[in-house]
Amino acid sequence: MSFGGPQWPQQPHQPNGGFGQDPYGQQYGQQGPQHGAQPGQQQSPPYGTPYGQQPPAASSDTPDWGALADASAQRQRRKRWLLAGGGVLATAAIATIVAVAVVSTNSTGDQGGGQTGSLGPTAPGGAEIPADPTGPQPSFSSVAPPPPPNPMDFISTAEKDKAPLDADSLFPGKKLTMGDRVYQKGATGSTTNCAAVTQAGLGTVLQKHGCTHVLRATYERDGVAITIGVAVFGDQAAALKAKNESKGGIAPLAGDGIGDFCRATVCLRRSNSLGRYAYFTQAGFTNGKKVTQGDTAVFKTSDDLGTFAFNQIYARGRAQASAAATAPAGGQ
């Protein structure tokens, strides 16, 4: 089985009656003469002064407490106004004095020393900076710096892709960790006979577009094995054509603890390309079981190794671009 490459928020009522009316119906001031009162003597109501009437004037011996309170309040208000007005006047006087002092200081500074030139601001150390300096001024280039090198430029043509390339550098280490999944690495290999490490017509396609060599590595996890083959071409156009025309697949690579797999059975094949590299994967069960659409473990393994190959190839371009950016001018 072959599969295409992964294109990978109211007021209350008041009592009815006017002032001077007893809430129980008896009007104030209707009682008879008080016991012991002399004829012709003015009598006081039993409950004091009726509502609505002014109390009799106080005798001359009693102080007029209300008038005294009003007079005291007036004195307090007058005192507050005097204090507020005095504060405003004092503030205005201080501001005037400060303004005069500033003007006087400026006038003295302008007249002292016989200076004829204009001075600018004062530096933190106390030195004055001339407003029109005559010394040399810093100059800046109007030419924008070149953009940083693009990693794709270095992995798209053989002329610029000069970094060493072998199976051990492309597939380093003994294990591959992708997220929480750890794959054991098996055998690796490299050959310039591109057709010799392919199946079902892929070799013819590789040779047609100028494949120079193929690097392979096999990984295994939980009974699923996968071989990845990276074919190298002269430029990006040739690698893209080989990927688009691919058929068959890369031959499985057994060894280093991983037995034969994908022999006379159905496996998952995929292809893709990046720069001048085309890469192919073939994944299946180590026990020979056929791969079906429901075998998610095989598909996940293929995804992981395809991502790994992409990252490794791009890392070559990034490393070479970084080296070129830090190289001395004129050297390569």
Is the CB of residue 128 less than 8 Å from the CB of residue 120? Answer: yes
What is the pLDDT tens value at each position of the chain, 332 positions in all?
555 444 444 344 444 444 344 443 333 344 444 444 444 444 444 444 444 444 444 444 566 666 766 777 777 777 666 555 555 555 665 666 555 555 554 554 444 444 444 444 555 555 555 565 566 666 666 676 677 889 999 999 999 999 999 999 999 999 999 999 999 999 999 999 999 999 999 999 999 999 999 999 999 999 999 999 999 999 999 999 999 999 999 999 999 999 999 999 999 999 999 999 999 999 999 999 999 999 999 999 999 999 999 999 999 999 999 999 887 755 54
Q: Which residues have a Cβ under 8 Å from the Cβ of 186 and sit 6 or more positions away?
A: 217, 218, 219, 220, 225, 253, 254, 255, 256, 257, 258
- pTM reported for the whole predicted model: 0.58
Neighbours of 82 (CB within 10 A): 10
Structural domains of the chain, ranges and CATH numbers in brackets: 166-321 (3.40.1000)
Phi, psi of 249 (to 5 degrees): -170, 180
